[in-house]
Amino acid sequence: IISLFILNSCSSDLQGNIQIIKYQPKIEPDYSEVTIPPNIAPLNFIIKEPGNEYQVILKSGLDNSQISVRSKDGVIQFPEKSWEKLIGASKGDKITIQVLSAVSTNSINKYEPISISVANEPIDPYLAYRLIPPGYYSWSDIKIEQRSLESFDMESVIENQMIEKNCVNCHSFNQNNPDQFLVHIRGSKGGTYFVDKDKITKTNLKTEQMMNGATYPSWHPGGRFVAFSSNQVRQSFYAHYSKSIEVYDESSSLILYDTQKSEVIGVPKDLSGESLQTFPTWSPDGKYIYYCEAYINDSVAGWEIKDIEKIHYNLVKKSFNEKDLSFGKTEFIVNSSETHQSVSFPRISPDGKFLIFTMADYGTFPIWHKEADLYMLDLQNGKLKKMELNSNETDSYHSWSSNGKWLVFSSKRIDGRSTRPFIAYINSWDQIGKPFVLPQNDPAYYDNQILSFNIPEFIKGKIKMNPRDFEAATKKAIIQAKSGKFENAKPEKAKHPRNGQPEIPNSIHG
């Protein structure tokens, strides 16, 4: 009773003659008709309608409890405790947002209410991401942060200002576990840093058998093995203003790292001709490794844009035997000769039913491709579709929540420049919620800073490590990985993209 009294008495109502406005008010960020988890931070927003004073009434559809907030400037910030109680009590139902604006001393505009659905399933309580300028040249200020999704609390995990401004990238968690993850550091403190509970191990994964270093990690569900691609990455810059940069691989292959033996082996290439392999990911049962593969031939001294535009990556998989570390033959899942586009970032839902990937016109680095979109593949029947949550700007890197009901992805839809984390409810193939941007305490936050949220990953709890721990770890002796078997696994030097494809077995996408 006391809680309901508090919720209903946050502020008095605006007074005046009510004018009914037959449309929903414009608010930023746009949270209208979204589906949210029952444990998300308040969806604060700014009312973009005329008025000299505003009132917002947030009401539960289950018990009619409500929060009332008044504002002189249209900035609406809900009390966190009141918000938590109201949405927590509205699971499986809807809440409504009623907006009123005072346009004169005696006239109140009342807009059509905005509806928000509250799912039954919670979201993982934390999100980890790399915060970085939206460019391609500077390492001067890079952080990996963790943000509570249930509040606005944020803490740094790594700050490169404390480690001689080294580049920090490619953080990866084992099944959303904050106590088992890794991160790459490049520069004077270079190495791959493995975190296991309260221990950090600094490792050099590059062996004499490898042409390039290790990147794009993916943990095997068992936690012992990590798959990487080993890439020779190049950048080319456009003279035309419509595009800025193209990032591509001159060579790449897959490797498997055994954390117990500190040993690296190569993943064999079994198709005719040379190929580029990248972006590995495991099936939830650990029996298959999925990755992206493109085909090349005709050695050349350099690449031109016409060569890069021919690169189209297929989605393929191999079986994996954990006992003897052997791999099966390549099986094609999505064939680029049918889609005429290029696949990157495959990620499988925890229940193994769906695979979501990014697809762009060509190449392997979709973050610079405006046309990049997310696609969803039903692994049970082979259906493929472009997802409803895409925008007219870049939509790319994504990851699943531990319960498989929430997807976070990077999108440039706000300003066309910086990537922001958007969250969407994935209930089924046909029920995908409208995405919403990560809520901030200041609803104008995204208008006032340009940093990109890179590689957003859900985690099931708070990371215990802090920047001081990683600073100390950089001073430790580095462990050199040993080289295991590499038969049929080494990439060749730069090649032209292959015109046409080899014979493709076991394709499930037609």
Q: What is the per-residue pLDDT across 148-172, written as a single tens digit (0 to 9) for each?
A: 999 999 999 999 999 999 999 889 9
- Whether 356 has a pLDDT exceeding 90, the answer reads yes
CA distances from 149 to 42, 154, 218, 332 (A): 10, 9, 24, 37
pLDDT at 301 over 60: no
Lowest mean pLDDT, pick from 56-60, 246-250, 260-264: 246-250
Residue 121 phi, psi (nearest 5): -85, 130
- Least trusted range by pLDDT, from 284-288, 448-452, 473-477: 448-452
Q: Quick one: pLDDT band at residue 242, thresholds 50, 70, 90?
A: low
Confidence bin at 5 (pLDDT 50/70/90): very low
Q: Which helix (H) or strand (E) element contains residue 8?
A: helix 2-8
> What mean pLDDT do residues 122-128 have?
98
- Residue 426 DSSP symbol: B
Residue 365: closest CA among 265, 243, 484 = 243
Could you tell me the pLDDT band of residue 300, with boundaries at 50, 70 and 90?
very low
Measured distance CA(343)–CA(252) in Å, rounded: 15
Instruction: Tell me: pLDDT of 61 over 90.
Output: no
| Rounded CA separation 30/391 (Å) | 14
Distance from C-alpha of 425 to C-alpha of 432, rounded to nearest angstrom? 6
Q: What's the confidence (pLDDT) of residue 490? A: 54
DSSP 317-358: EEEEETTTTEE---EEEE-HHHH-SEEEEEEE-TTSSEEEEE
* Token couple for 395: 């939509």
Query: Quick one: pLDDT band at residue 2, thresholds 50, 70, 90?
Result: very low
Contact status, residue 508 vs residue 268, Cβ threshold 8 Å: no
Q: Which residues in 149-179 are b (16+ Cβ under 10 Å) and which e?
A: bbbbeeeebbbbebbebbbbbbbbbbbbbbb
The confidence score (pLDDT) of residue 304 equals 76
Question: Quick one: tokens of 447?
Answer: 């208008």
Residue 7's nearest CA partner among 111, 88, 93 is: 88
Cα(465)–Cα(459) distance, integer angstroms? 14
Cα(130)–Cα(396) distance, integer angstroms: 15
Confidence (pTM): 0.92
Residue with tokens 């790449």: 252
Contact partners, residue 295, CB within 8 Å, separation at least 6: 271, 273, 274, 275, 276, 497, 498, 501, 502
Once rounded to an integer, what is the mean pLDDT over residues 241-249? 76
Supply the mean pLDDT for the chain: 90
| Percent above pLDDT 90 for the chain | 77
Q: How far apart are the first and last CA of the chain?
A: 59
Do 343 and 336 meet the contact criterion of CB atoms below 8 Å apart? Answer: yes
Neighbours of 38 (CB within 10 A): 17
Q: Is residue 259 over pLDDT 60?
A: yes
pLDDT of residue 509: 28
Distance separating alpha carbons of residues 119 and 73, to the nearest angstrom: 31
- For residue 138, what pLDDT band results from cuts at 50, 70 and 90? low
Percent with pLDDT over 70 in the chain: 90
Q: How much is the pLDDT for 354?
A: 98
The predicted-structure confidence for 163-206, as pLDDT tens digits, reads as follows 999 999 889 999 999 999 999 999 999 999 999 999 999 999 99
As a whole number of angstroms, the distance between CA 311 and CA 247 comes to 12
pLDDT of the residue at 248: 80
Q: 3-state SS of 246-266?
A: EEEEEEEEEEEEECCCCEEEE
Q: Which residue has the higher pLDDT, 242 or 71?
A: 71
Q: What is the mean pLDDT of residues 263-291?
A: 91
